[in-house]
Homo-oligomer: A and B are copies of this chain.
Amino acid sequence: MNKVKVGLMGMGTVGTGVYRLVEGHQEDLVKQTGMDIQISRILVQNREKKRTIAIDEDLLTEDPYTVLQDPEVDVIVEVMGGVEQTREYVLAALEQGKHVVTANKDLMAVHGGELLEKAVKHGCDLFYEASVAGGIPILRALVEGFSSDRITKMMGIVNGTSNYMLTKMSQEEESYESALKEAQELGYAEADPTSDVGGLDAARKMSILSTLGFHVGMNLDEVECVGMEEVTLEDIQYAKDLGYIIKLIGIAKQDDELIEVSVEPAMIKQSHPLASVNGVFNAVYVYGEAVGETMFYGPGAGELPTANAVVSDLVTVVKNMKLGVNGRGMLAPYREKKLKSDDEIFAKYFVRLLVDDQSGVLAQIAKKLAAYDVSIEQVIQKPHELEHKAELIIVTHQSTKKSIHHVLEELKSFEHIDAIKSLYRVEASE
């Protein structure tokens, strides 16, 4: 039987999972591919390190080029992480005609276009299913399952850490700090959680999703990004009162060829399928003109879920090798990218204000909103613990992002308004 030799770069959590699946599911892999898949080289940081699984020590190397330049290695599985250095390794692999499977969202979000072009040029496969929403085969669904449809909207809970924290805050009324501490203790959040709570991790995934879903080359810096650091228990409670739940959501929309992509804490109707995605689970909601509403739900990270996505890509590479069709299935972005400006982004908004509790204030605020074409769907006024103060919660009808920000800017200097406490986009409100 033909052998396929795999160079595994990285032996952390995901690398260990890949090794386990390839070794543990040999029989099934042979049945599926007709080939004998062997991990023949493994790049590690330290050969001497104690490992949780038994590995032939002869496979281990600390030198990346021992893996990359081994003429017997057919496929590189890159699960070491990192961006600039890793880009060089992947380019080197592709230049030598080696196929690449990666789980690296940072790499793909920043250098995906260049790497995919290089892969096609050298007739190589470059697959990266594991880079978005770990165990959920969402990239395949977009590229193949909806190939004849026009996707107009994607909403993703694509960062497990922030979703875990928001779930804790929402269900158990834990503070942001306490939820973060717990996430760190459980290993869901890094010591420096900025990339997770600040939305950058989600933005990388949304950039990959929108590139594939909309057929445009989306750059990471074109994804508007607001983190969850400012979400308070009060906001969560007010959202609940109105029938909403707050999630850190990646939103990618396409209207008449115009595109917007953002990551932000947004309010989602409690009956929406995304609203019940809790804990570290991920989900991607996809709306296609033909298919309508669909959602893909599953684990967003973890050793074996992510490894499963990697090895499934590896199986596709091996099948393609057998058929001799590597490097042929990938579709370069073919649409011209036109990004919406802030006066082309329409949404409902939730605004919370601390105001003087006296007659005429609401009327004046409403007048100001009207001047900017922001119309009100719902108002709740609640007494505030400070004397003569009230909290005013306004949910708007569809307004432009530009208008809502302008009007809030003006309201800041309004004498009867003490503070603009919060602003959220309201999605999936029907």
Q: Give A contacts to B, CB under 8 Å.
A: 17, 21-22, 25, 28-29, 31-32, 129, 135-137, 140-141, 144-150, 215, 271, 273, 276, 281, 288-299, 302, 304-305, 307-309, 311-312, 314-316, 319, 323, 325, 328-329, 331, 334
Known: A31-B215, A150-B28, A329-B319. A290 touches B276 (CB 8 A): no
Distance between A35 CB and nearest chain B CB, rounded to angstroms: 13
**B292 near A305 (CB under 8 angstroms)?**
yes
Give Cα A314 to B141, complex, Å.
15
Is A296's CB under 8 angstroms from B293's CB? no
Chain B residues contacting A32 (CB-CB under 8 Å) are 147, 331
Q: A149, B312: Cβ atoms under 8 Å?
A: yes
A22 to B147, CA, bound (A): 11
Q: How far does the alpha carbon of A144 sit from the alpha carbon of B328 in the complex, in Å? A: 17
Could you say which of B145, B299, B328 contacts A129, with CB atoms under 8 Å apart? B145
Copies in the complex: 2
Nearest chain B CB to A172 CB, angstrom units = 15
From residue A320, how far is it (CB to closest CB) to chain B in Å?
A: 9
Contact of A295 among B288, B298, B304, B314 (CB under 8 A): B298
Q: Give the contacting residue for A294; candidates B146, B297, B314, B316; CB below 8 A.
A: B297
- Known: A25-B148, A140-B144, A315-B147. Contact between A308 and B290, CB under 8 A? yes
Task: With A273-B276, A312-B149 as known contacts, state yes or no: A290 contacts B319, CB within 8 Å.
Answer: no
Taking a contact as CB atoms under 8 Å apart, the answer to whether B140 and A145 are in contact is yes
| Chain B positions within 8 Å of A331 at CB level | 31-32
3 nearest CB pairs, A to B? A137-B145, A294-B298, A148-B311
Known: A290-B17, A291-B298. A308 touches B276 (CB 8 A): no
In Å, the complex CA distance between A273 and B137 comes to 18
Which residue from chain B places its CB closest to the CB of A31 in the assembled complex? B334
Q: Are A323 and B312 in contact (CB under 8 A)?
A: no
Asked if B316 and A304 make an inter-chain contact with CB atoms under 8 angstroms apart, the answer reads: no
Which of these, B17, B298, B325, contacts A293 with CB under 8 Å?
A: B298
Q: For A334, what are the chain B residues with a Cβ–Cβ distance below 8 Å?
A: 31
A304 to B302, CA, bound (A): 36
The one of B22, B276, B312 in contact with A145, judged by C-beta atoms closer than 8 angstroms, is: B312
CA of A262 to CA of B304, assembled, Å: 29
